[in-house]
Structure 1
Amino acid sequence: MKQLPIGIPILMSLVAFILVLLALLAGSRPDFMEEYDIIAFNTSALGKNLLDFSNDPDKPSPTSDGLCGDLGGFLGSACSSATAAVDSIQSDIAETINDIGNDIADELATKLGIHEFYSLHALSICEGDFSPNATAPSASRNASSCTKGFTNGYNISALLDHGLRVGPLKLTLADLGFTDDLQSAIDTLNKVTKAFAVLLIISVGFTGLSLVASLAALVLIPHRERITLLTNVTLAGAAVVILILSGLVITIGAHIAVNKANELGDDIGLSVSAGYRFTTITWVAVGLMLVAFGYWLSQLLKFRRGSRMGHNGARKHARDSEESGHTDGGTEMRSTRGIHFGRTRHG
């Protein structure tokens, strides 16, 4: 049976294994593949609602008591003019504070006692600040520390609340306007990250086993072709299924939860994003393992087709030989009888 180059599934499995292993180890230490996060929280503007005075519905209006209207005449006109001037000054102050909001956002997280970003990776949570600053175009991340997330839990809310409590302002998440719905959305993100991490660990195992089985096939196929092909098809197929599940979880589940968290967290300056680079790695690994699985499946089908043809050919050959032998024997017997009878009559 003509074989395609066995190096195809070996190469595909090797690259897929490296990709999922790197994805698993990303963020295991500060600045190691930091940009390849599963989910990232941008907290550089968290608490911006504390600076927004222009739209405060509870702010009393100086004319709300109707004092100027009660005065009437010249005094009423003068009062109205003075009140309008005060309103204008307050409005200018509010606009000025809001205009500089982006500038002080670079220092807001520090003033609150928290970092500017928190990134969730498969096995860890990293935290740090943006460089050169949070509002600079194409700002990069500088992770200062990474802690275990898979074993200790991906509890971003606890990290933020702790930082706020020990910070100089001694605030809590509730003080910033965290709602139960926002907390629920963040809890969903934590669960999605945990589920993805589990699937990724399993994916690393199956892609690694598929690579080992592909290498073993170099030696085993001439002696144990059927069992070798079945083993490779099974392992490569399992790797494909787990990787596809991983891709769906990170692409669909995470993005739904991220959109919900952004919708609820926008008012207080919290933004969340799903790691597109991490998603890309996952789907590239899916494609590579699909190629490896397709190779082994095609070879198994060729082997089974060849076995059936060989088996049927052997049976046909045996039947033809039997019929040929039976005919030859009958001819010989008839010939022998003819000779024997001729001799008898001659005698």
Structure 2
Amino acid sequence: MHIPALFPMLGAIVAFVLSMLCLFAGSKPGFMEEYSVIMLNTSTVGESIISARVASDSTPSSALRSIIDSDAQNKIVSTNVEVSRDLNGIIGDDANKLASDLGIKQWYSMHMMDMCEGTYTPNATASSTKLNVTSCSNVTTMYHFNISEQISKELQTGKLHLDLSDIHWPSDIQNGLNDLGTALNALFALYAIGIAAAGVSIITAFIALFLHGSRFVSFGNWSLTCLSFFALLTASLIITIVQLKAVDLINKYGNSIGVYAYKGNKFLILTWVAVGIMLLTVAAWSVDYCLARKIKNREYTEKVGSGSWWQRRKKSDEASLRGHV
């Protein structure tokens, strides 16, 4: 058995699994939700709506009254200052209720092939929160993450029946996500190539275990792992750059209305670890190929230099005869 082939085979298996997890993280509620590409925190969107309406009218509107409990309403006086102070206290105490009454979720996450949404547990402002997933979209290749359409639909079905203009939703948020979505389409193809090449290399590595010192098998495995490595490397570079730009753009235009974007650091760790392991696998097959070639050359040299005494003597006599002619 060719034991040196065991290490690159294990490396290909690990890289294969990690790459698959990059694709399917978040594919169902609760499955690796924290490994999203981008997460949007919308738990404070209601604050901007209330603040804007209070600033324009000293008397809370019927829409505002629907999200303010009866005890708080009794405390509100006629001046703008007092109304703002009471409302701010209510917002700080019950941000969860605000998002619920608006109809939107507290967070939205973007994965490679779907989108999930949900609430924070115990609440959005707690020092340590957990993600409570309420639903995920259908898993689809080349998925388009249209957060504007999703939030618009939820606002209209909420208790206040608002639309995007009521919360001053910037179109630049969707523009940033559109660019990211376009990049994800290319990323899916790259991950598919990387996964397929790694999968085939696992099979050929298993064959190499029983073919000691085969240069052709080593070269074939090296080629497959190189293909997988460069596909995963390109995908990881693209997602790192595009993810950062999208988060900066969303925060630039969304923070003013209470939308905050966070890049998926755990997703980045996952994809870059897969790249690193595949690089080690490429290096292992490179060493194996060089050793196999060295062994083959030595065997060839020994074969050429070997032979019976009579064959060597005959060659020597023939050479001597030609020298006298």
Same structural fold, with TM-score higher than 0.5 when normalized by the shorter chain: yes
Q: 2:29 maps to which residue? A: 30
Structure 1 residue 55, shift from structure 2 partner:
10
- For 1:154, what is the secondary structure of its paired residue? coil
Aligned pairs (5 A) from 1:208-287 = 208-219=199-210, 221-222=211-212, 225-287=214-276
Q: 2:116 maps to which residue? A: 126
- For 1:28, what is the secondary structure of its paired residue? coil
Partners of 2:273 and 2:236 in 1: CA distance: 10
Aligned pairs (5 A) from 1:1-347 = 5-53=4-52, 89-148=79-138, 150-151=140-141, 153-219=144-210, 221-222=211-212, 225-308=214-297, 310-311=299-300, 325=314, 327-328=316-317
- For residues 288-307 of structure 1, what are the alpha-carbon distances to aligned partners after superposition, in whole Å with 9 as ceiling and x for unaligned? 11111111111112333444
Runs of 4+ in 1 over 6 A off after TM superposition: 330-333
Q: 1:80 maps to which residue? A: none
Partners of 2:197 and 2:101 in 1: CA distance: 47
Structure 1 residue 6, shift from structure 2 partner:
2.1
Contact 1:38/1:193 (CA < 8 Å) preserved in 2?
Answer: no
- For 2:117, what is the secondary structure of its paired residue? strand
Give the 3 Å change call, closer, same or farther, for CA 123–43 of structure 1 in structure 2.
Answer: same
Contact 1:119/1:125 (CA < 8 Å) preserved in 2?
Answer: yes
Structure 1 residue 324, shift from structure 2 partner:
5.8
Structure 1 residue 162, shift from structure 2 partner:
0.8
- For 2:34, what is the secondary structure of its paired residue? coil
The answer for unaligned runs of 5 or more in structure 1 is 61-87, 334-347
Count of equivalent residues: 301
- For residues 223-272 of structure 1, what are the alpha-carbon distances to aligned partners after superposition, in whole Å with 9 as ceiling and x for unaligned? x8122112101111111111111211222211111111111100111111
Give the 3 Å change call, closer, same or farther, for CA 194–142 of structure 1 in structure 2.
Answer: farther
Contact 2:147/2:174 (CA < 8 Å) preserved in 1?
Answer: no
Partners of 2:315 and 2:224 in 1: CA distance: 51
- For residues 82-119 of structure 1, what are the alpha-carbon distances to aligned partners after superposition, in whole Å with 9 as ceiling and x for unaligned? xxxxxx95324323423443333222221111211111
Contact 1:229/1:296 (CA < 8 Å) preserved in 2?
Answer: yes
Structure 1 residue 316, shift from structure 2 partner:
6.7
Partners of 1:29 and 1:282 in 2: CA distance: 20
Contact 2:38/2:109 (CA < 8 Å) preserved in 1?
Answer: yes
Percent of aligned pairs sharing the same letter: 32
Contact 1:155/1:190 (CA < 8 Å) preserved in 2?
Answer: no
Partners of 1:116 and 1:95 in 2: CA distance: 24
Contact 2:146/2:174 (CA < 8 Å) preserved in 1?
Answer: no
Give the 3 Å change call, closer, same or farther, for CA 289–332 of structure 1 in structure 2.
Answer: closer
The answer for unaligned runs of 5 or more in structure 2 is 59-77
Question: Which 10-residue stretch deviates more, 210-219 or 283-292?
Answer: 210-219
Structure 1 residue 160, shift from structure 2 partner:
0.9
Contact 2:172/2:249 (CA < 8 Å) preserved in 1?
Answer: no
- For 1:144, what is the secondary structure of its paired residue? strand
Give the 3 Å change call, closer, same or farther, for CA 216–317 of structure 1 in structure 2.
Answer: closer
Question: Which 10-residue stretch deviates more, 206-215 or 252-261?
Answer: 206-215
